[in-house]
Amino acid sequence: MSAATRQIKVAPSLLAADLARPGEEVEHVYEAGADMLHIDVMDAHFAPNLSFGPAVVAALDKVCEIPISTHLMVDNPGQFIEPFAEAGSDDILFHVEIGSDQVKLARDIRNLGVRPGIALEMNTPAEAAAPLVGEVGILLVMTVKCRYAGQTFHPQPAAKIPTLRQMFGEEVDIAVDGGVDAANAEMLAAAGANVFVAGKAVFWADDPAGAIRELRSAGEAGLARKSSGLR
Ligand code: DX5
Ligand code: ZN
């Protein structure tokens, strides 16, 4: 694969959905063309918020026709990989900042039949992911603090995307998470990202389907720039 064959994917983030009717919201976005559903799990320790458990993933897995990407913002991800795998997660991502034996964690996730991934907080350098080269299928670059939907995009962390793409090659998905919208998606794709996690940009839009289309076309424009060698 090369930048020219990289696929742009839009992953609406459930945290920004109308949580009085999550099932309808999920059906709405996959009918609107979303590629993955991003579900943020927070334990009120690693991140100062408490969000969704395995029961929510299991309930949404019944109505969700697209892969579920579970973002664990928790101190002890090893405690949660089996319950979220059984609930129907297609990806399980943990944060490199948790320390502990990350290669073992990634392999445990893969042995459960789930694609392992790692997430990097804004100030964590790309090099922190080096031990996981060859062990994960998706990387997540945070461009906001781990806590809420609707925060302002921080461009600085995007500077690590070219290094991550160079380290991990073309086979992995590189996702950006936090304040992603049609205004920054082209730059992110040109830097080497191909998955846009989008909460506010999709779920708070008057026309979520149009928002997904705009994100995708901005990403494809960035890929075109990347493959034609333009900066
Ligand atoms: C923040 C979460 C993000 C967030 C994205 O802790 O990890 O997934 O929900 O939502 P927006 O796109 O609104 O920043
Ligand atoms: Zn997230």
Confidence category of residue 1, pLDDT binned at 50, 70, 90: low
* pLDDT digits 0-9 by tens, 107-132: 999 999 999 999 999 999 999 999 99
**Residue 220 token pair:** 């494809």
- Residue 37, pLDDT above cutoff 60: yes
Q: CA of 32: how far to CAs of 165, 215, 222, in Å? A: 29, 12, 22
- Tally Cβ neighbours within 10 Å of residue 222: 24
Q: What is the pTM of this model?
A: 0.96
Q: Where are the domains of the chain?
A: 3-228
Under CATH, which architecture does the 3-228 domain have?
Alpha-Beta Barrel (3.20)
Q: Tens digit of pLDDT for each residue in 196-213? A: 999 999 999 999 999 999
C-beta of 154 in contact with ligand 1 (< 6 A): no
Q: How far is the CA of 229 from the centre of ligand 1 (A)?
A: 31
Q: Tell me, what's the pLDDT at 4?
A: 65
Contact indicator for 37, 199 with CB cutoff of 8 Å: no
| Euclidean distance between CA atoms 141 and 160, whole angstroms | 8
The average pLDDT across 165-178 equals 97
Q: Two tokens at 225?
A: 């720039």
Q: Ligand 1 within 6 A of 17 CB?
A: no
Ligand 1 atom having least distance to the Cα of 145: 6
